[in-house]
Amino acid sequence: MVWWIVLSAGLGWMSAGGAEKQAGVRAEAAVLEVLAPICVARFHQDGDREHKLEALKKENSWMRKDFVIKQGWATMPGTEKPGSGVAGECARRILATSNL
């Protein structure tokens, strides 16, 4: 038991499961970093974006992801389903840059 603590705390070693979980988190962050700007760009290309921005602002925070999904902005080219994480990050970025 002591050896495990020394390896993990002192040397940064982790179990295979821990490493896999950390890799998954990093991969998800990388995907969002690439796809969220595409979603935001699709919002900016929407001809009715000003009206939709006001509607997005009025949505409850937990419903904003669904709003973005319904608009189709989070459905990436070549895919059939929108990314839930992408939609949430997209909504956050749209609102962050819209001068609330």
Q: Would 36 be classed as within a structural domain?
A: yes
Distances (CA, A) of 69 to 11, 56, 75, 99: 43, 11, 7, 22
Residues of the chain with pLDDT under 50: none
Q: Would 2 be classed as within a structural domain?
A: no
Q: Would 79 be classed as within a structural domain?
A: yes
Q: Would 8 be classed as within a structural domain?
A: no
Q: What is the pLDDT of residue 84?
A: 80
Q: Quote the domain boundaries for residue 49.
A: 28-96
Q: Would 5 be classed as within a structural domain?
A: no
Q: Would 82 be classed as within a structural domain?
A: yes
Alpha helix (H) residue ranges in the chain: 2-5, 11, 16-45, 49-58, 64-71, 84-96
Q: What is the pLDDT of residue 34?
A: 86
Residue 94 CA to residue 37 CA, distance in Å, equals: 9
Q: What is the pLDDT of residue 30?
A: 77
- Tally of domains in the chain: 1
Whole-model pTM: value is 0.74
Task: Render pLDDT for 53-63 as a digit per residue (tens, 0 to 9).
Answer: 999 999 999 99
Q: Would 83 be classed as within a structural domain?
A: yes
CA–chain centroid gap for 57, Å, is 18
